[in-house]
Structure 1
Amino acid sequence: MDLTPRVETFGQDDQTWLDSAHGTDAAISGTVDLTKGFVAGTHYPNGDLPSGTALGKVTASGKYGLYDDTATDGRQTLVGHLFTSVKARGDVIGAVLVHGRINRSRLPFAIDDAGVADVAGRIQYV
């Protein structure tokens, strides 16, 4: 057992992409696989994967990766957004927002109309 003290610094989480609190109490837990579409300098340049990141679910593993409409491993279907930022270290567990209202223009990374259609009825974009 390692009892060495560790210091972690947390920044302010930018959740301005949320248009309301609707659905935030129903976020689900999920494991994010950083090997599935994420690029260090682009998606987590400061070591944190930002809240609002669009996620697809990898069919083979059940883990979440970066939503990509051109993927063929399940990530081509948008299932939700990372609710809070997480440290980008290996596979990380985070909260996935699967229902609510989102200000599309404030998301950290743009999503296409196909992704919006994938979550129609669960997530409303304004």
Structure 2
Amino acid sequence: MNLNPVTETFHNEDQRWLGSAHGTESAQSITLDTSAFTSGVHYPNGYFPSGLPLGRITASGKYGPYAGRTSEVQTVSITGGPTGGTFTLTFAGETTAAIPYNATAAQVRAALEALASINTGEVTTAGGQLPGTPVTVTFGGRFAGDNVPQMTAGSGSLTGGSTPTAAVTTSTGGAGGATDGTEVLAGHLLCTVDAPSDNTQDPQGALFWHGRVIESHLPIGVDDAGKRDVAGRIQYV
């Protein structure tokens, strides 16, 4: 008989992220690939928490942590020291109205959002003021995580300086990162699952794949690209 004291730690189920019971009755049985998760990041307390975002690993059919996708960043710059005039930006075949040579980041964003192909809030800008400091344009919303078309710049109306030129370069390409399937959000872990001490053991779980989610209560957040993956199935509030 073993008379040595034994200590056990118990955890409470935290499903505050569920917006309603809808969808919980149709959760899918899945297998978690323990080796795909990082201790201290995805299961810091010895268990995979309820609400954890998951992606399906294409090769094995098991599930790992949702990896997300990188949103594209393009940089608008002006060289040649112009002292006046305007330039334009063209995206997906549409050209903006004239943009001042010394535009702020907000002015560049407004010009892009005036295009029919870009809705309000789908680009964010930083940096500036031109021409001294470039302006970065980050694509979000419908474009989040996508490899979007490269913008081009028209600089024919810039004046002064020495051959002033407006140009656009891609600082960060979209859709980078994981390519094993976990870059696409499949859903969330419905119930807490104990993490095995041996990462070659893969426990069973349940995938919440449609319903309502209270985003602020998720153990790990979901980016815009992930929300778009499950649009029509999961609503984030």
TM-score in terms of structure 1 length: 0.90
- Residue aligning to 1:42: 41
Give aligned pairs, total: 120
Q: Do residues 101 (structure 1) and 212 (structure 2) align?
A: yes
Q: Which runs of 5+ in 2 are unaligned?
A: 1-6, 69-176
Secondary structure in 2 aligned to 1:55?
strand
Write the letter of the residue equivalent to 1:67: Y
Q: Do residues 73 (structure 1) and 200 (structure 2) align?
A: no
Aligned runs of 1:24-35 on 2, under 5 Å? 24-35=24-35
- Residue aligning to 1:82: 189
- Residue aligning to 1:22: 22
State how far apart, in whole Å, the 2-side matches of 1:75 and 1:42 are.
16
State how far apart, in whole Å, the 2-side matches of 1:113 and 1:8 are.
39
Larger radius of gyration: 2
Q: Which runs of 5+ in 1 are unaligned?
A: 1-6
Identity, % of aligned positions? 57
State how far apart, in whole Å, the 1-side matches of 2:40 and 2:235 are.
29
- Residue aligning to 2:58: 59
1:56-114 Cα shifts (integer Å, max 9, x gaps): 00000000000012210000110110000001113110011011100011100011000
- Residue aligning to 2:168: none
The answer to which of 40-49 and 76-85 deviates more is: 40-49
State how far apart, in whole Å, the 1-side matches of 2:44 and 2:55 are.
21
Query: Aligned-pair distance for 1:8?
Result: 6.2
Write the letter of the residue equivalent to 2:46: G
CA contact (8 A) 2:42 2:65 kept: no
TM-score in terms of structure 2 length: 0.49
Secondary structure in 1 aligned to 2:186?
strand
Query: Aligned-pair distance for 1:10?
Result: 3.5
State how far apart, in whole Å, the 2-side matches of 1:20 and 1:87 are.
24
Secondary structure in 2 aligned to 1:124?
strand
Runs of 4+ in 1 over 4 A off after TM superposition: none
